[in-house]
Structure 1
Amino acid sequence: MTVTPSTHDQRLLLVHAHPDDESIGQGATMARYAAQGRGVTLVTCTAGEMGEILVPELEHLAADRTDGLGEHRRGELADAMAELGVTDHRFLGGFGRYRDSGMKWHADGHAIAADETDERAFANADLTEAADHLVAVLREVRPQVLVTYDQFGGYGHPDHIQAHRVAMYASQLAAVPSYRRDLGEAHEVAKIYWGAMSQSRMREGLRRLRAAGDTTTFEGMDPEGPIPMASPDEDLAAVVDAGPEAAEAKMAAMRAHATQITVDGPFFALSNNIGNEIWGVEHYRLAKGTQGPVGPDGLETDLFAGL
């Protein structure tokens, strides 16, 4: 049975670009809060139609063939949410409203816009129109906490960057009583976080991978060199150590995204060996609100801290 998010005293809403982003980024946090009876709502901005397909027998779903990947990933997302215990997940503006924009890799190792994009691509969306879809959800769910990407979308993907813009703009518009009264009663989100990776933990993870003989995962990235996708530890405000059960749920959710994530190879073998040390711990930067009580490392251990 689907639980109405507004019935929960504490409510978290996450805005992600494609199916699988949520499980990789905040799957453990989502599983922990869902298990605790807190409200968890996921808004996914596209169906990930342009994603790379890692399952050979499903290659026919590619955008340049039958273009059926989006519908397939819709099912993968539903399966992943079942693993996390999340019952409220939506597509921004409804399924199919915005299309995956695609991307290509820059020589410096981050994502940039593809050479060509569909007219329905999320990166091309009118910002106010897209934000209004989210305003309606924010005013309905009324979350105290919102999670999305930083201004770079973590690694430069145009859809991640657009998701950041839409989430940040919508959170402002939703709080204005006179703005679009037809979209519901005004609501101000108390705290906004940007999902982050700890630079020190990323370096240690890379060292372990290289020591285990994995030279292809994050190929070319030196554990002692620049790591643009990770945040300096001094920029972090919160860490959720969700525990082994939530870590297992996160791993199961990632397996559900089978077209996008492979659990074979030394990366996942190493991950399985050290379990929630990698997958059950998720970091955040605070973009709005006041940091609540912190642990000995100076980080909040609960995104609702202080509320």
Structure 2
Amino acid sequence: MHAHPDDETIATGALIAEVVARGIRVSLLTATRGEQGEVVRGPLSVLEGTDELTRERERELAGAATALGIDGRFWLGTPPARAAGLEPRAYRDSGMTWIRPGLAGPADDIDGDALVRAPLGDVTADVAALIGQLRPALVISYDNAGGYGHPDHVRMHEAAVAGSRLAGVAFAEVVQVGVDGAPSGAGAAGAADAAGAAGAAEWFDLSAHLATVTAALRCHASQLTVDGDHIVHSGGQREPIITVVGLRLL
């Protein structure tokens, strides 16, 4: 379960490719269309802040999901990822600001339809509705820091954990190695918590799927570019393509 298009590939693309290669079905729930995302300079930059960016990000997600072998894609708020008896709704990207390099916080101006404005109980009910429909063996989403603190990532962690418990399905959070060798997103939790997270996780070296992940990343052309084995984000930040992933059962 992810917050925006491209998160599925950046954070878990190699993991998805590995699971698919083992013959296991993977379904993807995406909460928002990433409407507040910056756009890479170039032909697509004119889309920033427009409705067409929403449609472009939907197209990009479809391409990436196909590249990764994802079986089914669902939008939060749209049946079957919508609580019974409620009209469909679209959760919007909440945006973010950088508190410091590698750690995000809430945006200064948050849309009324943003994911973080919705009551957690409502988001959880929509998540639980999809889990109840699909009955997966395992639900996977972010850790409690949302990877790097994005408010939408944190909200999806909260809803995924709560929704999984409501549905009686196991939940695992993704733990990743940061550039300093510590689990990513651990800065706010402190060194002791970081060490605990690393020790509790089961780690997978999935570098054999680098080509597949790279192909999926290239589908997200409005948000990032690929330079060798690195991602260059729309804001210019660089990070290695993630192929080592940890999973921790909660």
Do they fold alike, i.e. is TM over 0.5? yes
Q: Considering only CA atoms, is the larger Rg found in Structure 1 or Structure 2?
A: 1
- Residue 283 of structure 1: which of 232, 237, 246 is its match? 246
Q: 1:219-238, aligned counterparts within 5 Å?
A: 228=187, 231-232=194-195, 234-238=198-202
Q: What amino acid does structure 1 have at the position aligned with 2:206?
A: A
Q: Give the SS at the match of 2:245.
A: strand
Aligned position for 1:193: 172
Q: Give the SS at the match of 1:193.
A: strand
Count, aligned residues: 227
- Aligned-residue Cα RMSD (Å) equals 2.6
Q: Deviations over 1:55-77 (max 9, x none)?
A: 422122112xx232121111000
Q: CA distance change for structure 1 residues 105 and 132 in 2, over 3 Å: closer, same or farther? A: same
- Residue 76 of structure 2: which of 78, 89, 92 is its match? 92
Moved over 4 A (4+): none
Aligned position for 1:105: 98
8 Å CA contact retained: 2:175, 2:198: no
Aligned position for 2:9: 23
Aligned position for 2:67: 83
Aligned position for 1:207: none
Cα offset, 1:144, TM superposition: 1.6
**Is 1:247 equivalent to 2:210 in the alignment?**
yes
Task: Select the structure that is richer in strand.
Answer: 2
8 Å CA contact retained: 1:49, 1:68: no
In 2, Cα distance between equivalents of 1:32 and 1:265: 21
Aligned position for 2:81: none
Cα offset, 1:243, TM superposition: 4.8
- Residue 147 of structure 1: which of 140, 148, 155 is its match? 140
Q: 1:105-124, aligned counterparts within 5 Å?
A: 105-107=98-100, 109-124=102-117
Aligned position for 1:45: 31
8 Å CA contact retained: 1:235, 1:285: no
In 2, Cα distance between equivalents of 1:108 and 1:198: 16
Aligned position for 2:180: 203
- Residue 74 of structure 1: which of 58, 73, 97 is its match? 58
TM-score norm. by structure 2 comes to 0.82
In 1, Cα distance between equivalents of 2:31 and 2:67: 21
Gap regions ≥5 residues in structure 1: 1-14, 175-187, 205-222, 270-276, 288-307
Q: Give the SS at the match of 2:227.
A: coil
Q: 1:268-279, aligned counterparts within 5 Å?
A: 279=242
Cα offset, 1:281, TM superposition: 2.3
Q: CA distance change for structure 1 residues 35 and 243 in 2, over 3 Å: closer, same or farther? A: same
In 2, Cα distance between equivalents of 1:108 and 1:83: 30
